[in-house]
Structure 1
Amino acid sequence: MVAALRPVFLFALLFAAESAVAATPEQVAAAALAAAPVWDGHNDVPEQMRDRRKNVLADFDFRDTTSTGDAAKGIAPMMTDLRRLKAGKVAAQFWSVYVSANLPEPQAVQATLEQIDVMKRIIARYPAEMQFCTDSACVESAWKAKKVASLIGMEGGHSIGGSLAVLRQMHALGARYMTLTHFKNLAWAESATDVPMPQGLTPFGKDVVREMQRLGVLVDLAHVSEKTMMDALAVARAPVIVSHSNARAINHHPRNVPDAALDAIKANGGIVMVNFYPAYVVEDTRQYNARRAGEEARQKALNTGNPEGTKAAMAEWDKANPAPIGSIADVAGQIDYIARRIGADHVGLGGDMDGIEVSVKGMEDVSKYPDLFVALARRGWAQADLEKLASRNMMRVLKAAEAYSAAHRSDPPIENPTSF
């Protein structure tokens, strides 16, 4: 009788083995996203509300924004809406309340308050689809309710106007990360894209990091210089994030993260969330932008006093020299590099959707995340690592930051004197 059963048993083993081998990249990606939906680190819908609508929502419909473009004016449709978030398996989003770093700091504080307000109003409009969250428990609750957990991040320390009191009030309003700089230096922090400062963070800048972590506001190192990264990491006692940046070893843009900082982020327990902007993803695009800037400077010199001549010459140059924008494979390559360098526990996604005018081919809007996961599965990524990339890493980082804050709840607030 045992002998009679043996062929059946062998068949079952063979069938199980064939089933395991037969799992396609599409199936691996789908299983990963079913277990751990996407948590994206940076989306600029609030900026679009300010630029397109002056924050007046009125007839704005966030369920479908595909008709928000104006071809005659060269305005592209928005990259984000509820329908495409669902298609993209995005179930948690840090909404960036970015305001221009060119604003005087008092105006920047006001504008940041307005951006928090407009995003909260959008979330409140769609209670069946979105849930405002300020902690990891709320994110998990929103997922169970099939809603998009919606958190707020401030993009640039100018949003607090040099005041730890303002930082505390932004936290009270729900901000849960702050990018230390944007494209310009602050008095207390060096940006990656401004003139060098003597140091990355001043003593006050280090106090900003300490107070953020005491409060449970994630320290975001996107946009900052390498010196600022290393200074912040030396002070940090809880994991940090880089909400929307790439590896400088692949694309040498100063906005990207150098290997030394990647290694320090690993030691810190933090996460680098990969961006989809071609100029930060693809080195060829960065080089193209430099060539174009050089040609524009040449044409301005040749057409002194004749701006229309410069404009016409650049139109011809652009026609003859289309910009390379890269593809989904280039984003996968960035993710691969970071994971190989510091481990799959320290990489995430921060697409910068609606904060960029163009994305790499294949990642044109928020519906495209599953395609990226398929591309990674084709490269050999296992389901468990894809789940980490999707949201498990971000959840771990936020919980660690919350634990640190809870342990230091009784610490006195760090004070700084008022400036006027």
Structure 2
Amino acid sequence: MQEKQERALDLQRVSSTILYIWTTCLTELPDVAPCNGTIRLPPPCEESPSSGSSKDRSNNSPRRRCRVLAPILLLVAALLLGGLCLPFLLQTAPATHEQRLHVIRRILTEVPLIDGHNDLPWNVRKFVHNQLGEVNLSSDLGRVDPWARSDWSHTDIPRLRAGLVGAQFWSAYVPCGAAQLNAVQLSLEQIDVIRRLAEMNAQHLTLVTSVSGLIEAHRQGKIASLIGVEGGHSLGNSLGVLRTFYGLGARYLTLTHACDTSWAVCSVGEYNGTQDNVPGLSEFGKAVVRELNRLGMLVDLSHVSTRTMRAALQTTGAPVIFSHSAARALCNSSRNVPDDVLRNLAKNGGIAMIPFYTYFITCNSTATIKDVIAHINHIRKVAGIDHVGIGAGFDGINFTPTGLEDVSRYPQLLATLLEDPTWSEEDIKKLAGLNLLRVFSKVEQVRDEWQRAAVLPVEKISPPDSSACAYGSS
């Protein structure tokens, strides 16, 4: 910073000196100011009418001195300004990929890189049945079975560090098959896994539940760990369970996963016509959204149907997120966001976080960094630079783009973006984390305003569960 200030002062001094000399010389020249719409050009060089011999007048005239000095001054100015400006030019327009990576490393010390979705906790359950003593997250899991044999494994602390990750939303996910069975219990167990992973790796991870906590963790050089509950079926149709999840640290709820709930429609049936007469959110579903607003918990619209996206945007009093959804205009998957919803997302102040699953990027099994960038640029074009982020979905996907194979690769993505002259450092900062911080801050602000207004918890009860597994169903 001090070096930049000194260079700026040097530039100012040189500019002032050159301007002084130049303007002094120019004062000796004829008037070239506009007059009646024309320019009065300087007359041809002629001898001054001043007294003295013609030889003296020729050698000493101001006009003659100016002709001699002008090229010299211009050359000196070019050399001085060029030498002083070159470091700035190299800094603002890095020429090589390695130089751009250096810029990204600096940026990510100033702004936390925040990823919206990672399914590592479910792999802990799937691979080692939540026996955390069998997981050394500080080791290279790419060399440890069963992680090394799985196409679904992309995450460990060494790779998170290499990827300069500043904050990660970990998914407390349970399959739709647990709906109306033990989904609530399984979700609580997954929240417990996330909390214990942070505790067991406290040198690197720290559980956070607020914007201030996230920023402080980044300042301390730790990876902020946040909890997102993926799928409304995890609530068991209970707002009391939602409040309990919040109390345990959950800070977003994905309204559906790949299955409908009794109160929200998922994306799976988007194209088969079964949703035409079904509202995106029931009255209880709207109550869920309002309770999320009251709690200060992010409303996540990934996995929901377009109808539900629109209903939630009409209902919410706070910005929403898509924790891992791409642009439907580029890949016509029902999991992606159509342009009209992106435009409404911008009005809402929310954010769409781009996933790295190839089937959401190119709608097939192969993709590249450039394909991911195309989605980022499309959402930037439709919704604006303030409404795009990153939600890779690692450990929950089995096909990744070339160049984005695991959590170590985020700097490569950002450095590649920086090749594009339309992307400034400030734009990169917004994409990396500032946009999510802004949305999260606004959600907290709405919570605080509702608390000051004494808005009470939502007491609405969902339709009764007629399952034989539910107490009081008869």
- Indicate the TM-score class for this superposition, using the shorter chain for normalisation: 0.7 to 0.9
Q: Which residue of 2 aligns with 1:376?
A: 417
Deviation at 1:34, TM superposition (A): 3.0
Secondary structure at 2:175 match in 1:
coil
| Number of residue pairs the alignment of both structures matches | 380
Q: Which residue of 1 aligns with 2:375?
A: 334
Q: Which residue of 2 aligns with 1:122?
A: 197
Is the radius of gyration larger for structure 1 or structure 2? Answer: 2
Cα distance in structure 2, aligned partners of 1:59 and 1:255: 34
Deviation at 1:29, TM superposition (A): 3.0
Q: Which residue of 2 aligns with 1:81?
A: 156
Q: Which residue of 2 aligns with 1:290?
A: none
**Counterpart amino acid of residue 140 in structure 1:** I
Matches within 5 A, 1:56-95: 56-64=131-139, 65-70=141-146, 75-76=150-151, 78-95=153-170
Q: Which residue of 1 aligns with 2:427?
A: 385
Secondary structure at 1:415 match in 2:
coil
Contact 2:170–2:228 at 8 Å: present in 1 too?
yes
Q: Which residue of 1 aligns with 2:62?
A: none
Cα distance in structure 2, aligned partners of 1:228 and 1:404: 22
Secondary structure at 1:158 match in 2:
helix
Cα distance in structure 1, aligned partners of 2:297 and 2:73: 62
Cα distance in structure 2, aligned partners of 1:19 and 1:368: 28
Matches within 5 A, 1:280-319: 280-283=360-363, 285=364
Cα distance in structure 2, aligned partners of 1:70 and 1:171: 32
Deviation at 1:35, TM superposition (A): 2.2
Q: What are the Cα deviations for residues 371-391 of structure 1, in whole angstroms up to 9, with x where unaligned?
A: 000111112311100000000
Q: What are the Cα deviations for residues 34-76 of structure 1, in whole angstroms up to 9, with x where unaligned?
A: 32231000000101111101111113100121223449x9534
Q: Which residue of 1 aligns with 2:323?
A: 243
Secondary structure at 1:366 match in 2:
coil
Cα distance in structure 2, aligned partners of 1:164 and 1:329: 42
Contact 2:284–2:461 at 8 Å: present in 1 too?
no
Q: Which residue of 2 aligns with 1:198?
A: 278
Q: Which residue of 1 aligns with 2:253?
A: 178
- Greater than 4 Å deviation, 4+ residue runs: 1-10
**Counterpart amino acid of residue 15 in structure 1:** G
Contact 2:373–2:417 at 8 Å: present in 1 too?
yes
Contact 1:222–1:244 at 8 Å: present in 2 too?
yes
TM-score by length of 1: 0.86
Q: Which residue of 1 aligns with 2:457?
A: 413
**Identity level (%):** 39
Q: Which residue of 1 aligns with 2:301?
A: 221
Q: Which residue of 2 aligns with 1:53?
A: 128
Cα distance in structure 2, aligned partners of 1:142 and 1:9: 47
Question: 2:94 matched to 1:14?
Answer: no
Cα distance in structure 2, aligned partners of 1:406 and 1:11: 57
Contact 2:357–2:401 at 8 Å: present in 1 too?
yes
Contact 1:163–1:416 at 8 Å: present in 2 too?
no
Cα distance in structure 1, aligned partners of 2:151 and 2:386: 35
Provide structure 1 residue ranges, at least 5 long, that are not aligned to the other structure.
286-323
**Counterpart amino acid of residue 206 in structure 1:** K
Contact 2:254–2:302 at 8 Å: present in 1 too?
yes
Moved more, 193-202 or 338-347: 193-202
Moved more, 147-156 or 97-106: 97-106
Question: Which of residues 148, 164, 167 in structure 1 aligns to 2:242?
Answer: 167
Cα distance in structure 1, aligned partners of 2:362 and 2:461: 44
Cα distance in structure 2, aligned partners of 1:35 and 1:5: 41
- Distance 1:58-1:396 versus aligned 2 partners, 3 A rule: same
Q: Which residue of 2 aligns with 1:400?
A: 442
Q: What are the Cα deviations for residues 238-296 of structure 1, in whole angstroms up to 9, with x where unaligned?
A: 1100000000000000000000110010000000000000000003x1xxxxxxxxxxx
Cα distance in structure 2, aligned partners of 1:356 and 1:338: 22
Larger RCO, structures 1/2 (Cα 8 Å, 6+ apart): 1
TM-score by length of 2: 0.77
Secondary structure at 1:152 match in 2:
strand
Cα distance in structure 1, aligned partners of 2:241 and 2:180: 11
Q: Which residue of 1 aligns with 2:36?
A: none
